[in-house]
Amino acid sequence: MEADVGQLAYTEDCAVLGNGTLMPLAGFGTWELRGGACSDLVSLALRLGGRHIDTPRMYGNEEAVGLGIRKSGVPREKIFLTTKLMDSGGFRNSLRDIGDSLRKLGTDYVDLLLLHEPYGGKYEIYRAMEQALEDGRARAIGVSNFNLQALGEFSSRVRVMPMADQVEAHVLLQREEFARRLISAGIAPVAWSPLGGGGAGIPSNPLLAEIGRAHGKSAAQTALRFLTEEGFAVIPRTSDPGRIKENHEILDFTLGSEEMERIRELDCGRSLFGWAEAYV
């Protein structure tokens, strides 16, 4: 993938997407959250100071996410909201899906609209996304689960360069080269499952806990901060109110170069999810 839009810029707590849209680095994911529990947790995340909420159509929880946003009392313009499209069969159906997502979310626009996977119909879906960008229903557009090869091929054939690529990334799958290449091309890397899921043991890792103690932080906060210092935005998902607050408090400390190198030794270079292995 050739860099052609310039180095990605950052503020203290945001990535500056290709068209100037600010994406908060610390977000809240909604995988497996449904119904009232989903809306309550989204509302809580926002009331605790979070401003980046992520969901896709695939989860079937856009209505609950939208309700949570409204219940929070946080003005819509202060929230960065992401959703993702599936392949429903062509350009017109994708336009329909964008409208349906906005209706369910209860908003006139999303801040970031992503193509969920490199589907066979990806170019027609993305063409609809480009139109949504033009007419203001999406402030920024991008992709998800595209590795470097797929992203390079895709970017050479679309009119608007993807502004973000959301992929599996955590301290056990750090994707350092991936992040470096995206950042040099002006594309924001976003990490889904940045704590590796329930069975990975990242929040209890002894090395991360040791490094975290030196900063008054937990192992999970240390793992998330490592990713943000590598240039990733992170969207951890939790149903624990205390951890929601903790996961947003990751930008008020800095890891030293020696600490970063020690954490790099945890990298196994493999996906923790069988279905995602093809996207690494």
Catalytic site positions? 59
Tens-digit pLDDT profile for residues 203-225: 999 999 999 999 999 999 999 99
The counts of H helices and E strands in the chain are: 10, 11
Q: For strand 9-10 and strand 112-115, is the pairing parallel, antiparallel, or unpaired?
A: unpaired
Please spell the DSSP secondary structure of 175-217, one letter per residue: -HHHHHHHHHTT-EEEEESTT--TTS-GGG-HHHHHHHHTTT-
Q: How many CB atoms lie within 10 A of CB 245?
A: 16
Q: Is 110 helix (H, G, I), strand (E, B) or coil?
A: strand
Percent of the chain past pLDDT 70, that is, above it, reads: 98
How far is Cα 268 from Cα 142, in angstroms, rounded to an integer? Answer: 27
pLDDT band at 36 (very low <50, low <70, confident <90, very high): very high
Checking if the pLDDT of 184 tops 80, the result is yes
Structure confidence at residue 1 as a pLDDT band (50, 70, 90): very low
* Domain spans in the chain, listed from the N-terminal domain onward: 22-274
Give strand pairing partners of 52: 80
pTM over 0.85: yes
Q: Minimal CA–CA distance to 50: which of 264, 235, 240?
A: 235
Q: Is the pLDDT of residue 80 over 70?
A: yes
Residues 22-274: name the CATH superfamily. NADP-dependent oxidoreductase domain (3.20.20.100)
**Average pLDDT value over all residues in the chain:** 96
Whether residue 2 has pLDDT greater than 60: no
Of the candidates 118, 52, 61, the one whose C-alpha atom is nearest the C-alpha of residue 86 is: 118
Tens digits of residue pLDDT in 253-274: 999 999 999 999 999 999 999 8
Average confidence (pLDDT) over 104-129: 98
Q: Do 178 and 147 form a contact (C-beta atoms < 8 A)?
A: yes
